[in-house]
Amino acid sequence: MTASLNYNTIPTAWVDGELRLAGLDKRMIGLLRAIGQSGSLSKAAREVGLSYKGAWQIIERANNGSPKTLVSTATGGSKGGGTCLTEAGCALLVLFTRLEQQHRQFLDQLNRNIADDPDTVLLLQRLVVKTSARNQLFGSIAAIQAGAVNAEIIVQLKGGDPIITTLSQAAISDLGLKVGADALLLINSADITLTSDADPSRYTARNRLPGKVLRVQQDEVNAEVIVLLPGGETLIAMVTPQSAQSLTLMPNMPVAVLFKSNAPILGVI
């Protein structure tokens, strides 16, 4: 199986944050803006996704906590009556708007600084990858061994351990694979077999990685086994409670991780 990861779709705003001014957040400021534009508390509440009661409570807290009234609301029943910003409310809105612009300029500069550091960008790109696969391993393509129909791609993990995955020639062309390129391997925990056999070469699986049991988390249905590889990466294997018992799995026990070459999904960066 193959997969292509397009990091151009990942937001480049690595640093982000909400501006809060003395406890006033975007929701409060949004309500003030909407009131200034509509002159109606009920309309403003609907615009920012609040109930009339919720909007009124926010206005009450803001007015009570401010030395000057921010919003003036005339009686007018459930429809809100006449509502408008006071001079103090308008001044606060202008101040927050100016601070928002400065805050965005500050964040933009931080993100430009990060973008100028390729190593940091690569680290952050890897951290934001989200998939349903329990196992995500990063490495680089060490070799491409072409065959008549399929090819074997050898991905070297950061600890030096090699993983073999099989791809079609068409997939290699589509992904633009080349030696030295960064790669991501996704492996489902159910595709992994564990053995305590001292000679794992007796098995037909192309991938045989040595490791040791880090921990075992067991319930009535499955046992989740976390295995630490020599390079520091971890792999999660899902086995039955019976298998876990027959293998007598326990922390620090040496095991071999086995999976076929068609099990990993290869993604390119």
pLDDT tens digits, 34-70: 998 888 888 998 988 888 888 888 888 878 777 788 8
Helix, strand, coil percent content, the chain, rounded in steps of 5: 35, 30, 35
| CATH number of the domain bearing residue 170 | 2.40.50.100
72 and 19 within one domain: yes
Number of domains in the chain: 2
Does 149 lie in the same domain as 107?
Answer: no
Q: What is the residue range of 60's domain?
A: 1-130
Q: Residues 73, 170: one domain?
A: no
Q: Does 4 have pLDDT greater than 60?
A: no
Does residue 74 sit in helix, strand or coil? coil
pLDDT of amino acid 243? 85
Backbone angles phi, psi at 217, to 5 degrees: -115, 115
- Same domain for 174 and 248, yes or no, is yes
User: How does residue 5 score in pLDDT terms, banded at 50, 70 and 90?
Assistant: very low
H or E segment and range at residue 38: helix 26-38
- Both 110 and 150 in one domain: the answer is no
- Is 3 a residue whose pLDDT tops 50? no
Q: How far is CA 195 from CA 34, 168, 189, 258, in A?
A: 64, 29, 14, 8
Instruction: Report CA-CA distances (Å) from 94 to 8, 34, 89, 214.
Output: 36, 14, 9, 56
Question: Same structural domain for residues 186 and 67?
Answer: no
Which of 130, 157, 185 is the last residue before a domain boundary?
Answer: 130
Separation CA 235–CA 229 (nearest Å): 8
Looking at the structure, tell me whether residues 109 and 164 fall in a common domain: no
State the DSSP string of 22-35.
TTB-HHHHHHHHHH
Residue 259 parent element (H or E) = strand 254-259
- Read off the pTM: 0.54
What is the rounded distance in angstroms from the CA atom of residue 17 to the CA atom of residue 29?
16
Say which CATH number the domain at 94 has: 1.10.10.10
User: What is Dmax (Cα atoms) for the chain?
Assistant: 85
Closest CA to 36 of 98, 114, 88: 88
